[in-house]
Amino acid sequence: MPGGLEPRDPNRRRSLTNIGGAVTKEGDRADADRLAHALDVPPATDAEDDAARGHVHGFHTYPARMHPITAARLVRAFAPPGGTVLDPFCGSGTVLVESLVAGRNARGTDLNPLAVLLAQCKTRPRTPADIDRLVADAVACAEEADARRKAKAGASRRFSPEDVELFEPHVLLELDSLRAKIGTFGGPNRSDLELLLSSVLVKLSRKPGDTGWGVRTRRTAGGFAAKLFVQRAQDLAARLSALRVLLPAPAPTATVVQDDATDLKRLPPGFVGAVVTSPPYAATYDYIAHHSLRLRWLGLDPAPLARGEIGSRTAYARLTPAAARTAWCRELDRFFRAVGRLLPPGAPMVLLMADSAVGDGAIRADEVAAEVGRACGLLPAARASQPRPHFHGPTANAFRDRPRFEHALLLRKA
């Protein structure tokens, strides 16, 4: 591809593409219908107007994020108008953004510092002047990188062996120049620029994708990294402007902090009207591994995530199926009890969770959530479930007799 990158594999799996199918329901009929409606969304496409990538949702990839339509429907169905929605596993901020659009205040926590920066970026109030400044600052970074490239300037720091393997030498130098200039900014502008850099890292690397492993050959033109950086800034500016149009006046407020969902000690005091969230699926992802490149380049501390990540595939792979289910119950118990302290009686907690597996044993998320919820005073009220493909070969036998499902689960505080 002259002047840019060679094309990536068009057949690679992407978030929000493998959805759809018949929905089964149980519990309160009206609530189950609302849950089913939230699950019944179209698969994501590459179309410019695809809702899965609408306004700020399309900025920066993030593995296993909730479909924006699902988030919007759950918020509108279960969060009281004008109330506050909490997402304790907020990830890149999908539920928080849809809460603001729906006129609800939003609170979000995550242990991943990259997720916190992303969610803060998407939910921070901005004026048109703020958005214009973002693009101007990005252009200044790109001009500095171009000037250093043309002057054949050396690196500002020593590169790690991982980065030497992942990037072509001239790309590595351009990214280093962008990072060095970003470091001269302060406050929210700096974090926005860091996220722009984060958004181009995998695309410019030899990695096959966010969740892929190994390296591939890349042929990238000189100056392309700086050009792509500015293009991403212009794209983000357009997305932020589009979101401003959707927000009600006066705009609701958002608070995003780094916190452990099994503790939740850093949020403002007081009850919330509803919890809408998607906890990590047991034994399915290693978020710290997926984000290690970005955490390294942005200088973010991975230690809290390393200590507190729940459901890690690597950790669960060492367990028997029975021990894995027990461990997942224990982790969810801590999470449910932390959330329970923030919900008034009768208030809803809505979970989007999928079945998972260790070895040949399936961990049925709906059964585990109901069991743990009853023990924690969060009573199961309704469920909607939709089949999902299972791509992990070593655990495929766990679903040979009964498919894997994704569940929308409603529990209410006793």
Residues 236 and 308 in one domain: no
Residue 209 domain-assigned (yes or no) = yes
Q: What is the pLDDT of residue 283?
A: 85
Q: What is the pLDDT of residue 13?
A: 45
Residues 153 and 220 in one domain: yes
Q: How far is CA 121 from CA 64, 75, 165, 228, 307, in A?
A: 19, 20, 30, 19, 25
Q: What is the pLDDT of residue 115?
A: 97
CB–CB of 175/193 below 8 Å?
no
Residues 388 and 299 in one domain: yes
Residues 385 and 302 in one domain: yes
Residue 4 domain-assigned (yes or no) = no
Residue 1 domain-assigned (yes or no) = no
Q: What is the pLDDT of residue 390?
A: 86
User: CA 305 to CA 113: how far, in whole Å?
Assistant: 8
Give residue 173's domain range: 128-244
Q: What is the pLDDT of residue 19?
A: 59
Report the half-sphere exposure of 324 (CA within 13 A, side-chain side): 26
Using one digit for the tens of pLDDT, what is the confidence trace for 205-247?
998 877 677 788 889 999 999 999 999 999 999 999 999 999 9
Give every CB contact of residue 258 below 8 A, 6+ residues apart in sequence: 109, 110, 111, 113, 116, 266, 304
Residues 177 and 276 in one domain: no
Using one digit for the tens of pLDDT, what is the confidence trace for 320-338?
999 999 999 999 999 999 9
Looking only at the bridges linking them, the beta strands covering 105-110 and 254-258 are: parallel
Residues 138 and 233 in one domain: yes
Using one digit for the tens of pLDDT, what is the confidence trace for 11-48?
444 445 555 678 999 999 999 999 999 999 987 766 66
SS (H, E, C) the chain: CCCCCCCCCCCCCCCCCCCCCCCEEEECHHHHHHHHHHHCCCCCCCCCCCHHHCHHHHCCCCCCCCCHHHHHHHHHHHCCCCCEEEECCCCCCHHHHHHHHCCCEEEEEECCHHHHHHHHHHHCCCCHHHHHHHHHHHHHHHHHHHHHHHCCCCCCCCCCHHHHHHCCHHHHHHHHHHHHHHCCCCHHHHHHHHHHHHHHHHHHCCCCCCCCCCCCCCCCCCCHHHHHHHHHHHHHHHHHHHHHHHCCCCCCCEEEEECCCCCCCCCCCCCCCEEEECCCCCCCCCHHHHCHHHHHHCCCCCHHHHHHCCCCHHHHHCCCHHHHHHHHHHHHHHHHHHHHCCCCCCCEEEEEEECEEECCEEECHHHHHHHHHHHCCEEEEEEEEEEECCCCHHHHHHHCCCCEEEEEEEEEEC
Q: What is the pLDDT of residue 42?
A: 85
User: Of 200, 215, 244, which residue is a domain's last?
Assistant: 244
Residues 188 and 271 in one domain: no
Mean pLDDT value of segment 188-198: 97
Q: What is the pLDDT of residue 20?
A: 65
Report the half-sphere exposure of 26 (CA within 13 A, side-chain side): 6
- Which percentage of the chain shows pLDDT scores above 70? 93
Residues 343 and 222 in one domain: no
Q: What is the pLDDT of residue 285?
A: 82
Q: How many domains does the chain have?
A: 2
Residue 334 domain-assigned (yes or no) = yes
Residues 102 and 189 in one domain: no
Residue 15 domain-assigned (yes or no) = no
User: CA 378 to CA 381: how far, in whole Å?
Assistant: 9
Residues 318 and 403 in one domain: yes
Mean pLDDT value of segment 276-280: 96
Q: What is the pLDDT of residue 211?
A: 67
Q: How far is CA 37 from CA 18, 66, 296, 316, in A?
A: 17, 14, 40, 32
Q: How many residues does the chain have?
A: 414
Residue 17 domain-assigned (yes or no) = no
User: Of 225, 244, 263, which residue is a domain's last?
Assistant: 244
Residue type, 318: R
Residues 261 and 387 in one domain: yes
- CATH code at position 91: 3.40.50.150
**Residue showing tokens 């108008």:** 81
User: Of 220, 244, 268, which residue is a domain's last?
Assistant: 244
Residue 110 domain-assigned (yes or no) = yes
Residues 137 and 282 in one domain: no
Residue 143 domain-assigned (yes or no) = yes
pLDDT at residue 51 greater than cutoff 90: no
